């Protein structure tokens, strides 16, 4: 079992209260670590450390190229430790080792991208309309950043925040999900090893109510970046109004996957499975709403159900496993409850809908991949994020109908369209009110392109150059090159 600590002002520390939390493996509920359970006292210490490190000025004033090199060094260290990090992620989250290795490689790329971007913005000279003047616009770090992450992509989500915040010259307090802190702890060790000065990166562990809430409320914090559920996002936005800090929110999604009758049937089918059942559906961009054209609906559903029944559940460390467990018993109950809701609402349960019976899966939080047909927009299972392996299928006839159904939720994170008619694909992509639209694909994201939601899926963007801009303030500097009295008064 691992015994872990938090990282505040360059020191590895226990919680001030001495409290700890047990971290378990969702595959078998075995204890894998004891971590400090921080609270308000620890959060205040971390905020103070980040405040001093920012205000004292050394970090934010070092050349951007030097900061960039440090961020690149972190990328190298992550690459060195990919296997160890990936194993830790699988142990903590239940996802397959292949997925974890992919995550870790993506994370190294995120640090590499922002390391490279750190010194690329030299500001902008403005054509001033006033004679004898110079005008320029520069970007500066925002200051102290609170960064709160969820359990489904523990380190990936943290990397989208830490890398740009460091590259831009901010200081920060990271608060990972209390359920899955292990890889964020490990990467904090790598950040220390890379030589990031004390106080610049601080790690606080504990519940959202006792640590995250304070980060959102504190007057000493200048920006709060949050990834998680919509209700928590609402609390954070309310708390952030205390000092009108900058707010970046990456919230949920209920993402439509639209399959037209002229799509490449086999590819669309294969990817529809991946869209929704990847990581047991615990993905903000999961393709949980499948919209299928009438002409192919019945055949598509039949094949989909057949393939879904063959999905192999198991340990993330077993090479033959296609999907691991859900994250916790509470989450399992929530997903189970959505199946009951779907049945009550009149949807047809085609497969799954229950915990698996296999003996070897009984200790884990497993749930069978589930498909509902005959769904419509009035149903809660179509409107709400179940965040589990549940697919709802709706049918459509016209392009216009598909777009209307696709846009008909409060969310706007991502969506996909499958058709061999590229003009139709681009028309539909243009009509979808979502931050990301995939044409004849599902799920790709990368460091170079922005990620974020329309509507209630959030505010702001991560990744891409927009992800770096979130961590900057814009300053206009005006210089009178020939000052003289005005004689107005
Ligand atoms: P959650 O909202 O329950 O928790 C997320 C984080 O917020 C955790 O660290 C938690 O401790 C903290 N928190 C809880 N209450 C808080 C409070 N009052 N103040 C401050 N912090 C608080 O979400 P979760 O269950 O961990 O994650 C699942 C959710 O995350 C899903 O809705 C999913 O869609 C979303 N998500 C979105 C994206 C995206 O890019 N848009 C990516 C991953 C996950």
Q: Say whether 178 is catalytic.
A: no
Pairing of strands 414-418, 436-439: parallel
pLDDT digits (tens, 9 = 90+) for 413-444: 999 999 999 999 999 999 999 999 999 999 99
Which range of residues forms the domain containing residue 74?
2-251
* Predicted pLDDT of residue 426: 98
* Predicted pLDDT of residue 118: 98
> With pLDDT > 70 as the criterion, what percentage of the chain qualifies?
100
Output the ligand 1 site: residues, CB below 6 A. Answer: 148-153, 157, 175, 177-178, 207-209, 212-213, 216, 227-229, 232, 235-236, 250-253, 284, 385, 387, 413, 453, 458
pLDDT digits (tens, 9 = 90+) for 208-244: 999 999 999 999 999 999 999 999 999 999 999 999 9
pLDDT digits (tens, 9 = 90+) for 378-395: 999 999 999 999 999 999
Q: Rounded CA gap, 322 and 313, in Å? A: 6
Whether 52 and 168 map to the same domain: the answer is yes
Pick the catalytic residue: 284, 368, 375, 394? 284
Q: Is residue 454 part of a domain?
A: no
- Yes or no: say if 180 and 92 are a contact pair by the CB < 8 Å rule: yes
Using pLDDT thresholds of 50, 70 and 90, give the confidence band for residue 329: very high
Whether 228 and 298 map to the same domain: the answer is no
Shortest-distance atom of ligand 1 to CA 213: 19
Q: Which of 423, 439, 455 is the last residue of a domain?
A: 439
pLDDT digits (tens, 9 = 90+) for 244-288: 999 999 999 999 999 999 999 999 999 999 999 999 999 999 999
Shortest-distance atom of ligand 1 to CA 458: 41
Using pLDDT thresholds of 50, 70 and 90, give the confidence band for residue 82: very high
Whether 242 and 267 map to the same domain: the answer is no
CATH of the domain at 422: 3.40.309.10
* Predicted pLDDT of residue 53: 98
Using pLDDT thresholds of 50, 70 and 90, give the confidence band for residue 372: very high
Whether 229 and 278 map to the same domain: the answer is no
Choosing from 229, 242, 470 the residue with most ligand 1 atoms within 8 A of its CB, the one to mutate for a pocket test is 229
Whether 41 and 58 map to the same domain: the answer is yes
Pick the catalytic residue: 4, 37, 178, 250? 250
Q: In what order do the strands lie in the sheet with 289-293?
A: 348-351, 370-373, 390-396, 289-293, 256-259, 414-418, 436-439
- Entry pTM: 0.97
* Predicted pLDDT of residue 255: 98
Mean pLDDT, rounded, for 56-62: 94
Q: What number of other Cβ atoms are within 10 A of residue 330's Cβ?
A: 10
* Predicted pLDDT of residue 167: 98
* Predicted pLDDT of residue 286: 98
Whether 108 and 227 map to the same domain: the answer is yes
Q: Six-digit token pair at 44?
A: 């205040």
* Predicted pLDDT of residue 162: 99
Q: Rounded CA gap, 40 and 128, in Å? A: 48
Residue with tokens 């159900």: 305
Q: Is residue 487 part of a domain?
A: no
Whether 147 and 239 map to the same domain: the answer is yes
Q: Rounded CA gap, 202 and 45, in Å? A: 10
For residue 232, report the distance from its CA to the centre of ligand 1, in Å: 6
Q: Which of 183, 218, 251 is the last residue of a domain?
A: 251
Closest CA to 15 of 37, 45, 46: 37
Whether 265 and 219 map to the same domain: the answer is no
- Yes or no: say if 419 and 402 are a contact pair by the CB < 8 Å rule: no
Using pLDDT thresholds of 50, 70 and 90, give the confidence band for residue 29: very high
Q: What share of the chain is helix, strand, coil (3-state, %, to 5)?
A: 40, 20, 35
Q: Rounded CA gap, 402 and 396, in Å? A: 6
* Predicted pLDDT of residue 12: 98
Whether 357 and 234 map to the same domain: the answer is no
Whether 221 and 303 map to the same domain: the answer is no
* Predicted pLDDT of residue 450: 98
For residue 153, report the distance from its CA to the centre of ligand 1, in Å: 11
Q: Six-digit token pair at 210?
A: 């006792």
Mean pLDDT, rounded, for 146-156: 98
Q: Say whether 99 is catalytic.
A: no
For residue 419, report the distance from its CA to the centre of ligand 1, in Å: 34
pLDDT digits (tens, 9 = 90+) for 287-323: 999 999 999 999 999 999 999 999 999 999 999 999 9
pLDDT digits (tens, 9 = 90+) for 404-414: 999 999 999 99
Mean pLDDT, rounded, for 96-103: 98
Whether 20 and 165 map to the same domain: the answer is yes
Q: Is residue 463 part of a domain?
A: no
Q: Which residues contact 91 (CB under 8 A, 6 or more apart)?
A: 25, 32, 182, 316
- Give the dihedral sign, CA 354/357/363/366: negative
Q: Rounded CA gap, 206 and 178, in Å? A: 5
CATH of the domain at 210: 3.40.605.10
Whether 225 and 339 map to the same domain: the answer is no
* Predicted pLDDT of residue 475: 98
Q: Rounded CA gap, 288 and 82, in Å? A: 30
Q: Rounded CA gap, 227 and 224, in Å? A: 10
Q: Is residue 423 part of a domain?
A: yes
Q: Rounded CA gap, 54 and 199, in Å? A: 8
Q: Tell me how many domains the chain contains.
A: 2
Q: Is residue 357 part of a domain?
A: yes
Using pLDDT thresholds of 50, 70 and 90, give the confidence band for residue 157: very high
Q: Is residue 204 part of a domain?
A: yes
- Yes or no: say if 111 and 75 are a contact pair by the CB < 8 Å rule: yes
């Amino acid at each position: 079992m691992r015994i872990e600590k938090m990282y505040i002002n360059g020191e590895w520390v226990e919680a001030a209260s001495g409290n700890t939390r047990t971290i378990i493996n969702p595959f078998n509920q075995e204890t894998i670590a004891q971590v400090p359970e921080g609270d308000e006292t620890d959060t205040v210490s971390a905020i103070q450390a980040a405040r001093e490190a920012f205000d004292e000025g050394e970090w934010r004033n070092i050349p951007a190229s030097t900061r960039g090199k440090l961020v690149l060094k972190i990328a190298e260290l992550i690459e060195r430790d990919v296997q160890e990090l990936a194993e830790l992620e699988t142990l903590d989250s239940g996802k397959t080792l292949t997925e974890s290795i992919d995550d870790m490689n993506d994370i190294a790329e995120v640090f590499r991208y922002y390391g490279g971007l750190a010194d690329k913005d030299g500001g902008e000279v403005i054509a001033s309309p006033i004679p004898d003047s110079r005008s320029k616009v520069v970007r500066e770090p925002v200051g102290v950043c609170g960064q709160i992450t969820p359990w489904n992509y523990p380190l990936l989500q943290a990397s989208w925040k830490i890398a740009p915040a460091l590259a831009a010259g901010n200081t920060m307090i990271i608060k990972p999900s209390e359920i899955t802190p292990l890889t964020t702890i490990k990467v904090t060790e790598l950040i220390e090893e890379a030589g990031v000065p004390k106080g610049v990166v601080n790690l606080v562990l504990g519940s959202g109510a006792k640590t995250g809430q304070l980060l959102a409320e504190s007057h000493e914090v200048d920006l709060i970046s949050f990834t998680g559920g919509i209700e928590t996002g609402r609390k954070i936005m309310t708390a952030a109004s205390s000092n009108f800090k900058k707010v970046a929110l990456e919230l949920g999604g209920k993402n439509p996957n639209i399959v037209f009758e002229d799509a490449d049937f086999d590819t669309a089918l294969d990817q529809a499975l991946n869209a929704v059942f990847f990581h047991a559906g615990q993905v903000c961009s999961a393709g949980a709403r499948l919209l299928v054209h009438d002409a192919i609906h019945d055949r598509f559903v039949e094949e989909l159900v057949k393939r879904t029944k063959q999905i192999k559940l198991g340990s993330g460390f077993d090479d033959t496993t296609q999907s691991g467990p859900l994250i916790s018993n509470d989450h399992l109950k929530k997903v189970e409850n959505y199946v009951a809701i779907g049945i009550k609402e009149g949807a047809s349960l085609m497969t799954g809908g229950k915990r698996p019976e296999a003996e070897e899966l009984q200790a884990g939080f497993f749930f069978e991949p589930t498909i509902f047909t005959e769904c419509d927009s009035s149903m809660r299972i179509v409107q709400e994020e179940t965040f589990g392996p549940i697919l709802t299928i709706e049918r459509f006839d016209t392009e216009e109908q598909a777009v209307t159904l696709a846009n008909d939720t409060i969310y706007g994170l991502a969506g996909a369209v499958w058709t061999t008619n590229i003009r139709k694909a681009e028309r539909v992509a243009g009509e979808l009110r979502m931050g990301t639209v995939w044409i004849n694909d599902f799920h790709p994201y990368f460091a170079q392109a922005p990620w974020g939601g329309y509507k209630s899926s959030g505010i702001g963007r991560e990744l891409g150059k927009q992800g770096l801009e979130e961590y900057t303030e814009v300053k206009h500097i005006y210089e009178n090159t020939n000052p003289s009295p005005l004689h107005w008064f």
